[in-house]
């Protein structure tokens, strides 16, 4: 799977998870971990965008696990995934 396809899959999964309750969203986010781990083979800008998406997804997951609000965190994660998609083209 290309980096662009991976970024799109992550973006779509985040949009789906955002609409689900925490118990259903957490497994979706956990399934993204393998997708967002980098291999260092992309240009630095793409790797930076991927890493930002990874960190944002982790923040959403932590908040879900703790029962904290996630609205702003989802926005950040989705924006990071969009940036990754744009750069990975």
Q: What is the structure's pLDDT at 53?
A: 95
Q: pLDDT tens digit string along 54-79?
A: 999 999 999 999 999 998 999 999 99
CA 87/CA 81 separation, integer angstroms: 10
The confidence band for 40, taking pLDDT boundaries of 50, 70 and 90, is low
The total number of structural domains in the chain stands at: 1
Q: What is the 3-state secondary structure (H, E, C) of the chain?
A: CCHHHHHHHHHHHHHHHHCCCHHHHHHHHHCCHHHHCCCCCCCHHHHHHHHHHHHHHHHHHHHHHHCCCCHHHHHHHHHHHHHHHHHHC
Q: What is the structure's pLDDT at 54?
A: 95
What is the span of the domain harbouring residue 77? 3-88
On average, the pLDDT of the chain sits at 93
CA-to-CA separations, 39 to 45, 46, 48, 51, 64, in angstroms, rounded: 14, 11, 12, 11, 27
Q: What is the structure's pLDDT at 11?
A: 97
Residue 2 has pLDDT above 80, yes or no: yes
């Amino acid at each position: 799977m290309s980096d662009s396809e991976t970024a799109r899959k992550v973006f779509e999964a985040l949009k789906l998870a955002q609409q689900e309750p925490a118990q259903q969203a957490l497994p979706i986010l956990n399934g993204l971990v393998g997708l967002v781990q980098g291999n260092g083979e992309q240009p630095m800008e793409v790797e930076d965008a991927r890493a930002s998406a990874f960190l944002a997804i982790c923040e959403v997951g932590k908040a879900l696990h703790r029962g904290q609000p996630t609205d702003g965190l989802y926005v950040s994660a989705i924006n990071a995934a969009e940036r990754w998609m744009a750069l990975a083209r």
